[in-house]
Structure 1
Amino acid sequence: MLLNVVAVAVTVLYPLAIWLGHGRFEPRWLAGLLLLAALARLPALRISRGARWSVAGALVLVACAVWSNGLLPLKLYPVLVSAAMLGVFGASLLTPVSAIERMARLSGQDFPAVAGAYMRTVTQVWCVFFVCNGAIALGTALWASDAAWSLYTGVISYVLMGLLFGGEYLVRLRFKRLHHV
């Protein structure tokens, strides 16, 4: 549990830490933050193939940052996170139960078929979000200033996620009312 909190905290604060640390520390030392994020995800390796790819990708980025002493590999971590989430959510669309439905079923509820179709659509919306978010994160990493990259990956992308969560919640309330779920 504590490692999950550390993993989330490091991931959320990562863009700000990279931006603040750039110019004060060499990128090879800042790679320690990414290594910490990867190590905090180790317990999830037993239960999630997505976590395995995410940790492996993070370790490759750490190695590239240490070897090149460049900032770009470190700025690619949010792209990796979006790609990993896209992989998990997208792969679930190839199964009978989508990622959103799997999460909803953790509450122990049973859902009618119409709710399953709705949750599959929500999973598809999240896939589109991860594609767009990853593309913008990549674009800012490659072509924008470090401040613009940090602002997008550390603030704007989380605001957009919050708006998507909030918007989906409102749509879900209406869906439940219309379908008596």
Structure 2
Amino acid sequence: MSKLRAALFIALSLAYPLVVYLALGRFEPRWLALLLLALALLRAIATRQAVWLVAAAGAAVLALMATIFNQALPLKLYPALVNAVMLAVFAASLVFPPSVVERIARLTEPDLPAHAVVYTRRVTQVWCAFFIVNGTLALITALWASDRAWAIYNGGIAYVLMGSLFAIEWLVRQRVRAAHRHD
């Protein structure tokens, strides 16, 4: 049952921009703030990590603002908040190693060779750059774009870009592994 709940949570999180966009004309922003707060609290409870508790607090502030002012902007700022949190997590891991990508890699390959540690650090840096660009675009679309443009970017294009980065990194990783097989 917990896998089903996790899958539903992931699906709802991914659909957040689309759900907000479709609901904006039908419900007041103050009611949609409940969705934002629920998502943030579920993520914080599910992960039990301090960073997601901080993110939940940030989402709670956005939800409170949406409730008090009955405006959609705080709801639209959530993707920018998530990118900022992810940037903080990945950047902190560069300052306090091992990097996030190295930790993930060690789940399947505990004895990473030195060149792989260097590679995972570089990939973590690339993800930091991605979160900066994606978060900036999420912020720009929230502040200055139409609701539709915001939903298209944050609920579609951002995911395509993320998937593309995953795919490109996987291809690069295969080449790096092939180059180091003889070492």
**TM-score normalised by L of structure 2:** 0.93
How far apart are residue 45 of structure 1 and its match?
Answer: 5.4
Q: Which residue of 2 aligns with 1:24?
A: 26
Identity of matched residues, %: 53
Distance 1:45 1:101 in 2: 19
Residues 14-40 of structure 1: CA deviation (Å, up to 9, x unaligned) = 000010001111000111210220121
Over the aligned positions, Cα root-mean-square deviation in angstroms equals 1.4
Q: Which SS does the other structure have where 1:168 is aligned?
A: helix
How far apart are residue 91 of structure 1 and its match?
Answer: 0.3
Q: Which residue of 1 aligns with 2:63?
A: 62
Residues 63-122 of structure 1: CA deviation (Å, up to 9, x unaligned) = 110011000000000000100100110100012310000011122531111100000000
Give the residue type in structure 1 aligned to 2:37: L
Q: Which residue of 2 aligns with 1:123?
A: 124
Q: Which residues in structure 2 correspond to 1:92-107 (within 5 Å)?
A: 92-107=93-108
Q: Which residue of 1 aligns with 2:77?
A: 76
Q: Which residues in structure 2 correspond to 1:81-160 (within 5 Å)?
A: 81-160=82-161
Moved more, 119-128 or 54-63: 54-63
Given that 1:79 and 1:134 are in contact with CA atoms closer than 8 Å, whether structure 2 keeps it comes out as yes
Q: Which residue of 1 aligns with 2:15?
A: 13
**TM-score normalised by L of structure 1:** 0.94
Moved more, 166-175 or 99-108: 99-108
Count residues with an aligned counterpart: 180
Distance 2:26 2:70 in 1: 13
How far apart are residue 50 of structure 1 and its match?
Answer: 1.6
Q: Which SS does the other structure have where 1:106 is aligned?
A: helix
1:170 aligns with 2:171: yes
Give the residue type in structure 1 aligned to 2:75: L
Given that 1:4 and 1:40 are in contact with CA atoms closer than 8 Å, whether structure 2 keeps it comes out as no
Q: Which runs of 5+ in 1 are unaligned?
A: none
Q: Which runs of 5+ in 2 are unaligned?
A: none
Moved more, 100-109 or 67-76: 100-109
